[in-house]
């Protein structure tokens, strides 16, 4: 299979896409603001046992970063001599998300006292190449893939289905719900043929969107009604097959008589929405600020030698003025000291403009 890892290094973040057979299947992002503040999958720590929970057959471990992490004992049960205060070696097997801390697994490490990271994770590109051993890593500007459009799509509640129709994706605290709508799609052969073709296409696109957005937990897909059991079974098999390249564990249940498909997908960390949006579902101030810096750098690169002014909303201006990520120095290294930052009252959070000085 043809697989690419497409990488884009921007001021404030690194974005990456996993491309399979010409289509983007996964999106990933690492932010400068989170460096050293979050445990990354694969990192190795020396941790200290905070408390043992016999009812969970597990313990909570302080690894010196973020919330206490969860260490399941597994079928072997609690190790002999394991007690609160013990220093142990652990590897991050699943990153933290929402209010849940990281998941851990035992590893052997040298003796020591303080919780600390002993083996940091490699950079994003290296992690993805390691995870997809047959993949080639390339820079985004050397390809035709538009990462801006891909990330916008992954935040949109409405997604077009190839061939016609739409998916409407809604996340709640308990689960994710995906509604399949014909939205005017036509097909020769009448309503029965239309529903079968639409649902087959929708099953493939729903699986792609679930991977793309990093969705996990319980997911329900409300397909267009099909009366015959063989048709429902066919859509179920298509949905199951669409996850065959997914690194996360996915369990797909048979479609109900009402044509609702249910699946459970392993959470491997935060969704894209949890990274890029605030608690109200809007693009966060940081997301808007980094988007604006990306546009400023592109304009400056195309208009070499000219001084540029970046105009942003008051809240984005405040975030950029604080410069907690060192963007001014980094941008100066890339384009020189030929930019200014200006606050514009009346600009919405996600509105910005780049002009010549």
Q: Looking at residue 98, what is its pLDDT?
A: 83
Q: Determine the Cα–Cα distance for residues 36 and 254; give it in Å rounded to an integer.
A: 43
First to last CA, the chain: 49
% of the chain exceeding 90 in pLDDT: 84
Contact of 137 with 7, CB cutoff 8 Å: yes
Q: What is the DSSP string of 259-317?
A: -EEEEEE---S--HHHHHB-TTSSBPHHHHHHHHHHHHHHHHHHSTT--EEEEE-HHHH
- Say if residue 197's pLDDT is above 80: yes
Name residues whose C-beta falls within 8 Å of residue 190's C-beta, 6 or more positions apart in sequence: none
User: Mean pLDDT in the chain?
Assistant: 94
Q: Is 353 left (phi over 0), alpha (psi -120 to 50) or beta?
A: beta
Segment among 24-28, 105-109, 157-161, 182-186 with least mean pLDDT: 182-186
Evaluate if residue 191 carries a pLDDT over 80.
no
Q: Report the candidate in 205, 350, 183 with the shortest Cα–Cα distance to residue 281.
A: 350
Please tell me what DSSP assigns to residue 100: B
Task: Judge whether residue 189 has pLDDT over 70.
Answer: no
- Kindly tell me if the per-residue pLDDT of 195 is higher than 90: no
Per-residue pLDDT, averaged over 250-273, amounts to 94
pLDDT value for 286: 98
170 vs 173 pLDDT, higher one: 170
Query: How confident is the model over 94-105, as pLDDT tens digits?
Result: 999 988 899 999
Share of the chain above pLDDT 70, in %: 99
Q: Which of 132, 115, 133 is nearest to 43 (CA)?
A: 115
pLDDT of residue 53: 96
Highest mean pLDDT pick, 56-65, 176-185, 297-306: 56-65
């Amino acid at each position: 299979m043809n697989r690419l890892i497409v990488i884009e290094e921007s001021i404030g973040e690194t974005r990456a896409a996993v491309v399979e057979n010409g289509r983007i299947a996964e999106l990933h992002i690492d932010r400068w603001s989170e460096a050293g503040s979050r445990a990354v999958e694969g990192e190795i720590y020396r941790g200290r046992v905070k408390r043992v929970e016999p009812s969970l057959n597990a313990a909570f471990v302080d690894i010196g970063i973020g919330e206490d992490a969860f260490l399941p004992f597994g079928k072997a049960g609690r190790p002999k001599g394991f007690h609160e205060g013990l220093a142990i070696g652990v590897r991050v097997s699943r990153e933290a998300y929402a209010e849940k801390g990281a998941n851990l697994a035992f590893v052997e490490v040298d003796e020591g006292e303080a919780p600390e990271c002993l083996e940091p994770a490699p950079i994003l590109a290296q992690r993805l190449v390691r995870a997809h051993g047959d993949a080639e890593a390339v820079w985004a500007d050397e390809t035709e893939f538009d990462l801006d459009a891909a990330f916008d799509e992954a935040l949109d509640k409405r997604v077009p289905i190839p061939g016609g129709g739409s998916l409407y994706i809604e996340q709640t605290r308990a689960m994710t719900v995906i509604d399949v709508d014909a939205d005017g799609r036509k097909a020769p052969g009448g309503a029965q043929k239309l529903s079968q073709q639409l649902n087959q296409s929708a099953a493939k696109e729903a699986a792609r969107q679930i991977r793309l957005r990093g969705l996990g937990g319980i997911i329900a897909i409300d397909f267009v009604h099909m009366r015959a059991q063989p048709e429902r079974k066919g859509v179920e098999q298509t949905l199951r097959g669409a996850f065959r390249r997914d690194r996360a564990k996915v369990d797909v249940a048979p479609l109900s008589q009402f044509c609702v498909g249910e699946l459970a997908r392993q959470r491997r960390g935060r969704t894209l929405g949890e990274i890029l949006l605030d608690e109200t579902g809007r693009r966060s101030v940081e997301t808007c600020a980094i988007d604006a810096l990306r546009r400023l750098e592109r304009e400056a690169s195309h208009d070499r030698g000219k001084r540029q002014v970046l105009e942003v909303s008051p809240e984005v201006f405040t975030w950029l003025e604080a410069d907690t990520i060192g963007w001014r120095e980094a941008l100066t290294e890339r384009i020189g000291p030929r930019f200014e930052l200006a606050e514009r009252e009346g600009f919405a959070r996600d509105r910005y403009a780049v002009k010549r000085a």
